[in-house]
């Protein structure tokens, strides 16, 4: 099957720490729906925007991507993460 742009961006920039929607550094802070709802600020009110904010700015051990990825790429990877979270990875 063809791989989406969001999936490619994720595999190239995020999977090193978030393989399979997990988190190799802080094990509870995964990209699963339950963890995002619990730990990611504003996820429950504006999910995509909350992911975009975290990717742009980073947090603690997670690097910021705003100088590495374009706004369009960040939007695409955020949409991919949201869709995978909804699907249960
Ligand atoms: C947390 C997405 C790259 C390390 C998160 C969260 C999201 C996210 C949505 C919040 C998860 C939660 O609170 O349950 C992404 C995306 C990436 C990316 C889309 C690629 C563009 C990385 C990389 C690393 C990393 C490369 C490791 C070098 C972390 C860590 C946290 C985190 C340590 C927890 C931050 C904290 O609350 O202290 N990531 N991430 N992430 N990510 Fe990433």
How many whole angstroms separate alpha carbon 34 and alpha carbon 85?
Answer: 9
User: Residue 22's CB: how many other CB atoms inside 10 A?
Assistant: 16
Q: Please write the tens of the pLDDT for every residue from 50-83.
A: 999 999 999 999 999 999 999 999 999 999 999 9
ipTM over 0.85: yes
Pocket probe mutation, ligand 1, options 21, 43, 49, 54, max atoms within 8 Å of Cβ: 54
Q: Please write the tens of the pLDDT for every residue from 32-53.
A: 999 999 999 999 999 999 999 9
Q: Check pocket membership of 87 for ligand 1, CB cut-off 6 A.
A: no
């Amino acid at each position: 099957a063809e791989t989406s742009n969001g999936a490619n961006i994720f595999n190239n920039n995020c999977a090193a720490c978030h393989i399979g929607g997990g988190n190799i550094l802080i094990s509870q802070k995964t990209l699963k729906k339950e963890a995002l709802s619990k730990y990611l600020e504003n996820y429950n009110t504006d999910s995509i925007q909350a992911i975009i904010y975290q990717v742009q700015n980073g947090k603690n051990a997670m690097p910021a991507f705003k100088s590495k990825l374009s706004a369009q790429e960040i939007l695409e990877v955020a949409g991919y993460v949201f869709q995978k979270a909804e699907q249960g990875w």
